[in-house]
Amino acid sequence: MATVSLPEARRTIVAVGRWLDSKGWAPATAGNYSMRLDDGSVAITVSGRHKGRLGEEDVMRVDMTGASLDGKKPSAETALHMAIYRDFPEAGAVLHSHSPQAVGLSRAFPEAIGWTLAQHEMLKVYPGIATHDLSRTLPIVDNSQDMAVIDAAMAPRLLDADALPAYLIRGHGLYGWGADMAEAERVIEATEWLIAAELAEIGFRNGSKA
């Protein structure tokens, strides 16, 4: 786990917001990003800001319950970030992206509770994986406006020894995390790429090149 100062977290989160927006994974005001701070609190994006146009003032502090420490308003999904920090003490950064591919995959298979990723070289991006010759399941949980419902559905599955540091909320988007922001970025980018590759394979199998 890596911790950083608030000024460093603000600069890093502003930069990652621009990067995710450039990928098309942060439409409108969607998404939220956080980092664990060296004083035991968490820096997280303020609610309702466009992530491609963040300023450092759009990154606030919350305690480990998700309560604001500076009077600014955090996203309702702050609770999901806190759940990851609670369950994974090694997590230093959490990212939430909203690609059309990730949302589309979760909606196209409404009964799926996970998506198996097998024999992909890209799997080696994830921490602790050194070969393509295996499979891992990306969990999918139904969306809810009650973050406790999402947490209760997802937490037991993420604690499995073979769980990826990522999951999908159906019709909503992707969560991924890492020991630091660089690792969280790799997890998000690898997972988004794998989802796009899986959708391309489905398209080719069905006779479409789209």
Annotated binding-site residue numbers for Zn(2+): 96, 98
- Inter-residue contact 97 to 106 (CB < 8 Å): no
Query: Annotated binding site: which residue ranges?
Result: 96, 98
Which helix (H) or strand (E) segment holds residue 57: the answer is: none
**Which residue is associated with the tokens 């937490």?**
155
Backbone angles phi, psi at 197, to 5 degrees: -65, -40
Q: Which 8-state DSSP code applies to residue 73?
A: P
- Inter-residue contact 58 to 49 (CB < 8 Å): yes
- Measured distance CA(99)–CA(84) in Å, rounded: 21
Strands 166-169 and 135-141: parallel
Q: Is 94 helix (H, G, I), strand (E, B) or coil?
A: strand
- Inter-residue contact 139 to 116 (CB < 8 Å): no
- Measured distance CA(152)–CA(143) in Å, rounded: 12
Q: Which amino acid is at 137?
A: T
